[in-house]
Structure 1
Amino acid sequence: MKGSRRIVVVGDVMTDVIVSPEGPMVKGSDRRAQIRQRPGGSGANQAVWLGVLGARVTFAARVGEADKARWEAYFRGRGVEPSLTADPALPSGVLVTILDPDGERSFLTDRGANLNLSSADLPDSLLVDTAILVVSGYSFFAPGPRTAVMDLMARAKARGIGIAVDPASAGFLAEVGSESFLSWTSGASLLFANREEAALLTDAADIGEQIALLGAHFETAIVKCGAHGAALGGAGGVRLEMAAPRVVAVDSTGAGDAFAAGFLKTLCEGGDEKRALASAIAAGARAVQAVGGQPN
């Protein structure tokens, strides 16, 4: 429903270099591998999935100056309105993903121009005719981008615009600490967390306890459980749980981003939580069946 109020996503633009070794890495020697390069970045993934699913979406980010025109054309070609700032000093970000035979992945990250995101890159015009603001967790893990997105979140909240947050990286979340992350994001309408992120944020293992504890900070907490589906709720505990379909997983990169896109698109169209969660799980299941974080 391109005519509905828009969803604004703020996050990283990355080039994903995806490495699929034929077997375990051999230290100090060679291993044959398939190596592919694809567009990525958690925020970019969410925006592209939203565009492909038919949502009206704007994506705000910072890229290397030499890449701005290319990235703008790419996003427009996938139904996304780009709001990109060119960085004259740093190149666009790059992420190296190493895939295990079971589809799990490890990352090496150079965020490049994303680290220079500033409040000037996120003007009030982004909040015009906007239903919800989506902020990738990566934006909180460096001081400059964190200041910028927290300022935008405050402006959005003052206008009554919903805010959704995705922690995005358990590794970086562990570095900054749960108390800091919650202090930066508490009060948002929605939190999308996977099981590892939810455990770090709550110091709890039980999903019901995780959701109840997260519900003290967010109106709705959604915990993604991969092949086991997802659950959502608030301070009162779990309101809804749903299983995932059985599929052959090829690459889990971007599955959580697709999940968030499916949920937000349906919610902004007026769907209830049950329909939104079903759409989220369907999008996540679609994502794991292909290599890369964005739909082909």
Structure 2
Amino acid sequence: MAEPAAVRATADDEPVAPVRPRVVVVGDVINDVLVRPLGPVAPDTDTRAQIVRRPGGSAANLASWLASLGDAVSFVGRVGALDHDLHAARLASLGIDPHLAADPERETGTIVVIVDADGGRTMLTDRGANVALTPDDVPPDVLDGAALLHLSGYTLFEEPARGTALDLMAGARAAGVPVSVDPSSVAFLQDVGPEQFLAWTAGASLVFPNRDEAALLAGTADPVEAARRLCTHYDTVVVTLDADGAVVARRGEEPVALPAQRVHAVDTTGAGDAFCAGFLTTWLRADDPVGAAAAGMAIARECVLRLGGGPLASVV
């Protein structure tokens, strides 16, 4: 793991605020349209619904949560030129250092999220400008002094974003910067194949699959066994299990299952991103993945109690 944040001292040896770990987050920026039908959907006519628009995207959500928890964050992504300034200003208002390329042809990615009565969601996804992330969109010095590089798995599912992500991972390894990866989508994992994804991300310090992603990647529906098997590819594996908690496994150690405190979820959009942020902000400061997972579950609980995947401060 990364070195804990150092505490600087003045000339008189009076302690001052600790240096905040800087996390480089790379991945999707999305315009979320969240739809919660207020009754059974009536075909060919109207159904009353609650509809809200929220800034989203797995990587942007995670970056927002990290910033809200006190970490320094640099964000790299690509959006449509028409709302580039809006997204850049929103990220900057949260204390994030945004590096957003403006795509002159593609619109910012959009997802229509249909939320059911139990908070589950079905997503209709148009990734838009996100798929076109190129090496030219990445500042050459973005990894300098970074404590961690976090990649959304969405960056690996299509070119040219995939090549950009692989270059960043190679640069992080060369610089000694640990890498964490969120596989992001079981449907897209099936498209590229688990073997290919494992090859692309092998050697990452951390991976955060959910139950279905872990089952596909490891070839077993048992999340404990899946975590154990995936430790042959990654140093630490955290399998998230929604309301059932999480399994934490570190290479050479037995997996640990953590129960979750159950709540009635309003919307589970972004819960995994919130969990990752809570985990990472703790992990960067202490070598305790089990404690980090507990912290992640606490942030995920906060996330699912309202519509939208980011912290309240990120709502525009």
* CA–CA distance in structure 1, aligned partners of residues 310 and 192 of structure 2: 27
Query: Which deviates more from structure 2 when the two are superposed, residues 251-260 or residues 224-233?
Result: 224-233
The residue identity in structure 2 corresponding to 1:127 is L
Deviation at 1:275, TM superposition (A): 2.3
Q: Residues of 1 paired with 2:27 and 2:97: CA distance?
A: 14
State the distance in 2 between where 1:169 and 1:238 align. 26
Letter aligned with residue 158 of structure 2: A
Quote the residue 1:150 is aligned against. 166
Q: Is 1:120 the equivalent of 2:136?
A: yes
Partner of 1:23: 39
Q: In the alignment, what sits opposite 1:95?
A: 111
Q: Tell me by how many angstroms 1:235 deviates.
A: 4.4
Instruction: Tell me if 1:251 matches 2:271.
Output: no
Q: 2:48 aligns with which of 29, 32, 48?
A: 32
2:118–2:264 contact (8 Å) kept in structure 1: no
**Identity %, equivalent residues:** 46
Letter in 2 for 1:64: G
Which letter does structure 2 place at the counterpart of 1:242?
A: L
Q: Distance in 1 between matches of 2:90 and 2:125?
A: 22
The equivalent of 2:127 in structure 1 is 111
Aligned 1:63-212 pairs, distance under 5 A: 63-212=79-228
Distance (whole Å) between structure 2 residues aligned to residue 122 and residue 57 of structure 1 = 14
State the Cα distance separating 1:207 from its structure 2 match: 1.7
Q: What is the TM-score of this pair, normalised by structure 1?
A: 0.96
State the AA in 1 paired with 2:27: G
Contact 1:195 1:223 in 2 (8 A): yes
RMSD, aligned CA: 1.4
Partner SS for 1:143 = coil
Letter matched to residue 46 of structure 1: L
Partners of 1:279 and 1:79 lie apart in 2 by 21
| Equivalent pair of 2:20/2:70 in contact (CA under 8 Å) | no
SS at match of 1:125: coil
Which blocks of at least 5 consecutive residues in structure 2 are unaligned?
1-16
Give the deviation of 1:237 after TM superposition: 5.8
Q: Bigger shift: 125-134 or 171-180?
A: 171-180
Task: Confirm or deny that 1:275 pairs with 2:315.
Answer: no
Q: Is the 8 A contact 2:264 2:305 kept in 1?
A: yes
Deviation by residue 1:80-114 (Cα, 9 ceiling, x = unmatched):
11111111111111110001111100001111111
Unaligned runs of 5+ in 1: none
So what's the TM-score if we normalise by structure 2?
Answer: 0.90
What is the one-letter code of the residue matched to 2:41? M
C-alpha displacement at 1:246, in angstroms? 2.3
| Range with greater deviation from structure 2 (51-60 or 236-245) | 236-245
Instruction: Give me the whole-angstrom Cα distance separating, in 2, the residues matched to 1:207 and 1:258.
Output: 20
Deviation at 1:2, TM superposition (A): 7.4
Larger Rg: 2
Match status 1:264 vs 2:269? no
Q: Which secondary structure does the structure 1 equivalent of 2:124 belong to?
A: strand
